[in-house]
Amino acid sequence: MSQEEQIQQTRRKIFDELTKIVDPEIGVSIMELELVDKVDINQGKVNVDLHLTSPFCPAVFGFKIAQDVRDNIYKVSGIDDVKVNVANHFMADAINKQVNESKYPPKPAA
């Protein structure tokens, strides 16, 4: 498999994982809600920019969505680091700090 094919396969897996994440308040995928603004993938490192359904979305749901984004993407083979950047939310700084400083979940067995 060429490097370009591997990159595309990794990208598909990341977007598959993002599609699985559901807004806990309304039960709809964050991808369907178009909450993901940008996904940068560079040599095993992923940066995800996203916003929540409103600037005053309950913080507990914001934390849950951001943590799920980070944890789900981290489980993808070949991904070593994930940073999440929640924007346009009253608790964005706290969400970003807590999520990005949390421990990663264990990688699934190969």
Sign of dihedral through CA atoms 42, 62, 27, 50? negative
Nearest to 17 by CA among 84, 86, 62: 84
| CA distances, 47 to each of 25, 37, 62, 67, 86 (Å) | 24, 11, 17, 13, 11
pLDDT score for 2: 86
Domain-by-domain residue ranges, the chain?
A: 3-101
Burial label for 86, CB within 10 Å (0-12, 13-18, 19+), is: buried
**Confidence at residue 3, expressed as pLDDT on a 0 to 100 scale:** 84
CA distance 24 to 53: 11
What pLDDT does residue 109 have?
A: 76
Work out the average pLDDT over 66-78.
96
Q: Model confidence over 16-71: pLDDT tens digits?
A: 999 999 999 999 999 999 999 999 999 999 999 999 999 999 999 999 999 999 99
At 110, is the pLDDT very low, low, confident or very high (cuts 50, 70, 90)?
low
pTM above threshold 0.85? yes
Q: Evaluate whether the domain defined by 3-101 bears CATH number 1.10.760.10.
A: no
Q: What is the mean pLDDT of residues 65-85?
A: 96
- Asked if residue 61 lies in contact with residue 25, where contact means CB atoms within 8 angstroms, the answer is yes
